[in-house]
Chains A and B, each alone.
Chain A
Amino acid sequence: MLFGKDAPKENLLVRGTRVLDPVADLDATLDVRIDEGVIAALGTDLDPNSHRVVEGEGLLLAPAFVDPHVHLRTPGREDEESIASGTAAAAAGGYCAVLAMPNTDPVVDSAATLGSLVEAARIEAEVPVGFLAAITKGQSGGELTEMAELAAAGAVGFSDDGRPVAAPGLMRRALQYGAVTRRRLALHCEETTLSHGGQMHEGEVSAELGFTGYPSVAESLMVERDLALAAYERQPVHLLHLSAWESVQAVRRARAEGVAATAEVTPHHLCLTDEALRSLDPNLKMNPPVRSASDRTALIEGLKDGTITAIATDHAPHARYEKEVPFEAAPFGVTGLETAFSALYTHLVEPGLVPLETLLERMSAGPARIYGLDEPRIAVGSAANLVLLDLNASHRITEDLFRSRSVNSWLLGQTVKGRVRATIAAGRLAFAG
């Protein structure tokens, strides 16, 4: 279900580094030897065996990250992102795999379109990519796509991301038929009659700034509906980019009742509140919007207690000219692939809000599990999917850091701690910086 460049596999020895795999309960200073892209030995004083040596002293080696939600803008907006540039950005952010959403132009709703993307990924993807296909044709909420054929053609899941499946009856049919594909439906929960015209979270800040509010209930109402349908049909669902505490509550309750629901949260929802919008910076405009401090706290709690098992960047590149407009005229979306770890390490781990182990798990094994992908592991015999991190390095986020074709990052100009030094994806050194 993942497609990438067929490139020579690495022979590497990472020497004397802190090796941390929260899933394996491994945290020790070790040498890691990679033979032909596969982890061959973990130990001390390993023989380099004429392998290239990477000195890991003072650094941390962890399972590389998996991003379950990115927009590669291909086909249709290759000026904003391509498979090559988006996956280069992913590699720079420590990711060994990304899953791309199908809201392109044309929408990925046929095996032919999907097939062309798979072919392109095999030629140009710096890290393996999985593609979600649309739930409804043209994502227009009218009729189902040929889901079984799309699954056979390599779709990793199904989503109408960017918009909800508005009609409950159609959502039910999608759940029923989706079962045939053994792929998960990933749902964008938004009741558009409540969010209509909304620019930011509805609350004290929107009241003061004069923006039309996008209330929390516009999300949580749809979350409740989709969980109810999933429970009724006994089908799994994945809920995209949760933003409101009511939504976290609903997912927690449904999971406790046995519904196979999973959920993700973005770095910006974990790091920011609507107070940040006072700057009127169009790079803070996203859907769903960042919400109040209590919503942020609930998302962090949900991440810690396992209600939310994945961090997804929702990397949404936009052309510079599209964001250099008044806030209200700007499109929704921010980039995040290059900066996710640094942002989360700075805003969650350093202040003691989330343990490092939890962050690493939710960025790697957590998202992989949702879509049934191999979890990146640090164990002998596993494919080398590794990220080498420097937790002590501070750096300022500037445009030259981005490998993406777009620079609409909310972190521009900020100084963050924690930096990706190298990424090994599917046994190949995809990034070294």
Chain B
Amino acid sequence: MADIRVMREDLRPPASPPRRHFISIKDVTREDIERLLATARTFERSLDREVKKLPTLKGRLVINMFFESSTRTSSSFELAAKRLSADTLSIKSSGSSVDKGESLKDTAITLGAYDPDVIVIRHPQIGAPQLVARVTEAHVVNAGDGKHQHPTQALLDLHTMREALGRLEALHVAIVGDVLHSRVARSLIQALGLMGARVTLVGPPALLPRGVEAMGCEATTDIAAIGAADVVYVLRMQRERMEEGANYVPSLREYTARWGVTPERLRPGQKVMHPGPMNRGVEIDPRVADHADALIETQVRAGLVTRMAVLYDLLTTGPVGVKTESVLEVA
């Protein structure tokens, strides 16, 4: 038998950095967000070039698990990984073994067997990303879990606001609509809070969760409150989450009359955002959606670069400063 030699501590290869996830805005700091936004900005410049692909994540595997329908989020994650030269695999619940009743745990373990570097997961149930993080070795990115969190959406919204208005500190954002069912709202309230912005929630009483003020925002049922905001963030009236007979509002017609965002309720120059998909004529008037002050298309573009930034950040260590930026320029 071969001799067992004791390796000296200082000869050991350095331990791999701790596995990081991006599951909730609650887990990150202002510094993290600043770093991610700076990286996103760098990538935005790279997208202006004719050849848009960067070799940064070549040889890495990003698996997208989407257990809920999605256009923007799934396409932008897939494109973000591809723009960074990572291999991608996309799994949807329909047409996969989930259809055959496989549990999330087993699906995650199965995909984990391919040693993915990142698993991006969208799931209708709160806590699904944590479960995937527990049973696989991958970095996990939450692309929306039930009504809980959608942290990359918050990040792209911050990016959009900063690019359009030049600041986040002391910015006043009114979030309008169905806050109760909105993971977008929850992540955004926390992210804006971290960056020193002021948040006012506006919506029908039953769609403003009881106790939500403890998240550090104001809440009112009066639509006139949007007048004071720099940004009016319109939430989708989530019809698919409206249970039969729940009576959150008497009717969509009444909702639109009371809380619909119309040109009459806005000041000139107020920016309008919407995470999509929009119900035109329900929560947002088509004239508002198509107006120059609407940043809705900008948000989609921001989704790509911020998701590139998240993938890049998780798979590299340390902050991305100016130096790294110049390296990327030549890459």
Contact = CB atoms under 8 A, between A and B. Distances in A.
Contact of A213 (B128, B146, B210, B243): B210
Interface residues of B, number: 24
A355 B205 CA distance: 44
B214 A327 contact: no
Interface string B169-187: 0000000000000010010
B260 to A, nearest CB: 24
Interface in A156-213: 197, 199, 202-213
A324 B186 contact: no
A329 interface: yes
B209 A327 contact: no
A328 interface: yes
Contact of B128 (A205, A208, A211, A326): A326
Interface string B306-320: 000000000000000
Contact of B212 (A207, A211, A215, A327): A207
A206 B209 contact: yes
B149 interface: yes
Interface in A303-348: 321, 324-329
A280 interface: yes
- Which of B105, B126, B215 is most buried by chain A, counting CB atoms within 10 A of its CB? B126
Given A210-B146, A321-B103, A329 B186 contact: no
A208 B105 CA distance: 25
A210 B215 contact: no
B126 A203 contact: no
A280 B103 contact: no
A197 B211 contact: no
A175 to B, nearest CB: 31
Contact of A209 (B104, B123, B126, B128): B126
A282 to B, nearest CB: 8
Contacts of B183: 210
A326 B103 contact: no
- Which of B130, B209, B212 is most buried by chain A, counting CB atoms within 10 A of its CB? B209
Nearest to A203: B211
Contacts, number: 73
Contact of B147 (A202, A211, A326): A211
B210 A326 contact: no
Interface in B175-227: 183, 186, 209-212, 214-215
A211 B126 contact: yes
Contact of A208 (B123, B131, B214, B243): B214
A328 B214 contact: no
A209 B210 CA distance: 12
B127 A280 contact: yes
A328 B124 CA distance: 9
Interface in A193-241: 197, 199, 202-213, 215
B148 interface: yes
A326 B126 contact: yes
A328 B103 contact: no
B17 to A, nearest CB: 24
Nearest to A213: B210
Interface residues of A, number: 24
B103 A324 contact: yes
B125 interface: yes
B215 A325 contact: no
B211 A327 contact: no
Contacts of A199: 126
B240 to A, nearest CB: 15
A328 B146 contact: yes
Nearest to A199: B126
A207 B149 contact: no
Contacts of A213: 209-210
Contacts of A329: 104, 125
B131 A325 contact: yes
Given A280-B126, A321-B103, A328-B125, A209 B215 contact: no
Given A209-B148, A210-B147, A326 B214 contact: no
Contacts of B215: 204, 207-208
A382 B207 CA distance: 60
Nearest to A279: B130
B145 interface: yes
B37 to A, nearest CB: 23
Contacts of A324: 103, 105, 131
Contacts of A209: 126, 148, 186
Contacts of A325: 103-105, 125, 131
B212 A326 contact: no
A204 B211 contact: yes
A329 B145 CA distance: 12
Contacts of B209: 206-207, 213
Contacts of B131: 324-326
A324 B102 CA distance: 13
Contact of A207 (B104, B128, B211): B211
B186 A208 contact: yes
B298 to A, nearest CB: 26
Give the top 9 A-B pairs by smallest Cβ distance, nearest first: A210-B147, A326-B125, A204-B211, A207-B209, A204-B214, A280-B127, A327-B127, A328-B125, A326-B127
7 contacts: A205-B211, A207-B214, A207-B215, A211-B126, A326-B123, A326-B146, A327-B125
Interface of B: 103-105, 123, 125-128, 130-131, 145-149, 183, 186, 209-212, 214-215, 243
Interface of A: 197, 199, 202-213, 215, 280, 282, 321, 324-329
Given A203-B211, A207-B210, 10 more contacts: A205-B211, A208-B186, A208-B212, A208-B214, A210-B148, A211-B147, A280-B127, A280-B130, A326-B125, A326-B131
